[in-house]
Each structure stands twice: as C-alpha cells, then as structure tokens.
Amino acid sequence: MQLKVLVLAGDGIGPEVTEQAIRVLRTVAAHGDHAFTFEDGLIGGAAIDAAGTPFPPATREAALASDAVFLGAVGHNKFNALPPSERPEAGLLALRAALGGFANLRPAFAHPALADNSPLRPAVIEEVDILFVRELLGGLYFGQPREWNRATNEAWNTMRYTRAEIERVARVAFELAGKRRKKLTSVDKANVLEVSQLWRATVNEVAKDYPEITVEHEFVDACSMHLMNNPRRFDVILTENLFGDILSDEAGVITGSLGVLPSATIGGQVDLFEPVHGSAPDIAGQGIANPVGAILTAAMLLRHSAKLEAEALAVEQAVRTVLESGARTKDLARGQQGTILSTQEMGTRVNDALIDVLRGQAESARLTGVTR
Ligand code: IPM
Ligand code: MN
C-alpha cells in the first residue's frame, strides 16, 4: 500500500519522539513492502523561528496533499509573551482547522506492566480501557468573539457549538462505542451552560439511532472525580473541545504517564496523528522523553489511515512486550531500580520487538496457508 505522510516534528521533545515513531512506521513499511513516503514540514515555534509564522502556507499545502499528518508537539515558553494568535499553539489549531478532522480519539488504556506507575491503587486502574472522543474544531478554542481588551481590562472567549457540529462527532462516538463495550458517557456542564444543554439534547437525538448503546450524561466536574475514583465505569467518553483536553490529561494519571497516550483525529480531509503530551521544553534535547505515546500514535496511523489493522496491533503488542520486560524511560522509572532507557533506546527496544511480532504474524499466516 502507498501512503504519503507529512511529518511535523515541531518543538521541544517533538522531534525526538517523532523520530522513534517514524522508525516504527519504516519497519512496518519494509516488512510488508509498503511504499510509505515521509516529508518533513514546519509547524509551531520551529516554524516561527524559520519562517516567521507558526503555520506557513507551505505546511498547509503539504498537509492537504498528504494522506496523513504526523505531529510531534508544539509550544515553547520563549513565546509565552505573544498573543494566542501568534503563538506556536496557533499553528496547531490552524492545522487542525485546515485538515477538518473534528473527532479526536484519545484511548487511555491501563497497561498492566505500568500498574505501579499510577499513583492510583492497582485495583482501581486494573482493566481500565477508555476511549475519549474529543470534539476538536469547536468550543472555546475557535469561538468568536474572542479578545483581551487591554483598555478596559476585560477579556472574553466564546463557547459555541451548532447542532450539526455536535451531531457529527456524536455519531463517530456512537459508532466506536458499538465496536466496544457499548457504553457512552457524554460529558457536559448542562447545569450551567446553554451550549451544554444543546450538546445533551443533540446527543439524546443521535442516541435514538443507536438503541444498543447505553448512554449516560455526566457533568464535567463529577466526571473528573469519577475518572480517579472508578475509571472502569467508562467505555467511550464523548465531550467538547476544552473538557476533552483537560480530562484526557487527567487520564494520564491512570496510565502512569502522559507520555504513553496516543491520539488520532479523524473525519476531515486528511487525518492527523499526535501524541497527547506536549513539547516539554524543560526536558527537550536530553534524549530522555518517552517515545511510547508517539509510537502508539503511529499505530493509530496504521489503523486509521493505512488500514493496516494487523500491523497496528503488532506495534501495540511490541509496546506491551517491551513494557512487560521492565524497560522504562525516566518518566516511568518512579523509584525503580535498574537502567533508565533513553528515547532512542526505548525506540530500539520497541522496534526490535516489532520485528519479532511481524515475523511471528507472517509465520502463522504461512502455517495457516499450509494447513489449509
Ligand atoms: C493537546 C494540546 C493542545 C490542545 C495545545 C498544544 C494547543 O494540549 O493536544 O491536548 O489544547 O488541544
Ligand atoms: Mn492537552
């Protein structure tokens, strides 16, 4: 299969973790004789430095001409004084808007091997498997008007959604819930916000088309508590842009590190893949960042853009094997004895394990072929 990937490594630890993710994609391509091509582009602070803007026109064109976009991370504190519209993050938001993907899938899975990494008790996080479906193109991130009026010392942002915007992301969430444990929790703040009342009414409308799915509504404050108290109660969590941003970081507590969480954004012209973690400028360039979130994001790219489900599973299996072997990057080491792996070494471990899994898959396919 052919796949043209635009790689936007971005800022901070973005380039380091992206390198390991792309390595894994190259391994899959070589193994299966797939023609994956990778082109590099500029975004975020790196683009401001090189081209004076966080989302250069060349990046937009290359993104729209690709089959998938892989993004490392954006953001650097040296741009903190800039208004939101000029910051590195604005580049990412403009990219998301240009690609049109509105459903951001953020799986949060409690790896048994990392049970001791979470500050939550192992019994609480055991078997947690949540899929956040975060609306990505609406709400406070994009709503107009928005302004900081320095003369009057007032500032405002607008949380705005249309029924159509809620309905399309709700449908994605219901479809995915149908392939999982058939439970959907819609998260809002309908006791205070009109937007949330429209959200809830729309989700209830869509729910009529999915009678096999159990639907519950939760207020975002209560949901954030339940996520820590009893995360197993959740299957698919559907929510608006900012609530999803906050809750998915909170899910990093369950998984033991934000560094292992992947994401995929679907529904637009070109799908976008980015780990959930940020650019972590404080540890950038030291080779200690955890590449697992980026590598699992590459697995999502294989699944959603390349339609290579077996290969996506192989990458996920390789990550599991490596974590079970005790391999740890610094964020996962939590008082543990033994060697702490660098970003590169962790990438090598996963890559080696992946080659084994892919060979195993090929071997069992061959044996099945023989016995047939
Ligand atoms: C995320 C990030 C971004 C967001 C930032 C970098 C704009 O926090 O992907 O979760 O808020 O969406
Ligand atoms: Mn975030």
What confidence category does residue 175 fall into, taking pLDDT thresholds of 50, 70 and 90?
very high
Q: Which residues pair with 6 in a beta bridge?
A: 39, 69
What confidence category does residue 205 fall into, taking pLDDT thresholds of 50, 70 and 90?
very high
Residues with CB under 6 A from ligand 1: 74-75, 89, 92, 245, 276, 278
Residue 264 in contact with residue 273, Cβ under 8 Å?
yes
% of the chain at pLDDT higher than 90? 95
The catalytic position among 11, 141, 161, 235 is 141
Instruction: Report how far residue 195's alpha carbon sits from residue 143's, in angstroms, rounded to the nearest whole number.
Output: 12
DSSP H stretches of helix in the chain: 14-32, 44-51, 57-64, 88-99, 122-125, 163-178, 194-207, 220-229, 241-255, 292-304, 309-324, 330-333, 343-371
Instruction: Report how far residue 58's alpha carbon sits from residue 67's, in angstroms, rounded to the nearest whole number.
Output: 16
**Closest atom of ligand 1 to CA, residue 75:** 6
The catalytic position among 11, 188, 235, 245 is 245
For residue 168, CA distances in Å to 68, 171, 172, 199, 201 come to 21, 5, 7, 12, 14
Q: What is the pLDDT of residue 61?
A: 98
Instruction: Report how far residue 77's alpha carbon sits from residue 10's, in angstroms, rounded to the nearest whole number.
Output: 14
pLDDT in tens, 59-73: 999 999 999 999 999
Instruction: Report how far residue 220's alpha carbon sits from residue 222's, in angstroms, rounded to the nearest whole number.
Output: 5
Q: What is the pLDDT of residue 369?
A: 81
Backbone angles phi, psi at 196, to 5 degrees: -70, -30
Ion ligand 2 contact residues with beta carbon within 5 A: 245
For residue 50, CA distances in Å to 18, 38, 46, 105, 131 come to 19, 20, 6, 31, 37
The catalytic position among 221, 307, 352, 356 is 221
Among candidate residues 286, 289, 285, 319, the one with its CA nearest the CA of residue 302: 319
**Closest atom of ligand 1 to CA, residue 249:** 10
Instruction: Report how far residue 111's alpha carbon sits from residue 290's, in angstroms, rounded to the nearest whole number.
Output: 15
Residue 131 in contact with residue 106, Cβ under 8 Å?
yes
The yes-or-no verdict on residue 339 having pLDDT over 90 is: no
Instruction: Report how far residue 72's alpha carbon sits from residue 12's, in angstroms, rounded to the nearest whole number.
Output: 9
Among candidate residues 333, 273, 334, 331, the one with its CA nearest the CA of residue 299: 273
Backbone angles phi, psi at 98, to 5 degrees: -65, -40
The yes-or-no verdict on residue 213 having pLDDT over 90 is: yes
Q: What is the pLDDT of residue 372?
A: 47
Q: What is the pLDDT of residue 336?
A: 67
Whether a cis peptide bond, with omega within 30° of 0, leads into 145 is yes
| Residue 168: CB atoms within 10 Å | 16
How far apart are the CA of 277 and the centre of ligand 1, in A?
Answer: 8
Ligand in closest contact with the CA of 297:
1
Residue type, 55: F
Q: What is the pLDDT of residue 125?
A: 96
The domains found in the chain, sorted by start residue, are: 1-103+256-372 (3.40.718.10), 119-252 (3.40.718.10)
Q: What is the pLDDT of residue 320?
A: 97
The yes-or-no verdict on residue 32 having pLDDT over 80 is: yes
Beta strands in 77-146 (DSSP E): 103-109, 129-135
Q: What is the pLDDT of residue 303?
A: 98
Backbone angles phi, psi at 272, to 5 degrees: -120, 135
Q: What is the pLDDT of residue 371?
A: 55
Place of tokens 């077996």: 310
Place of tokens 């976008």: 272
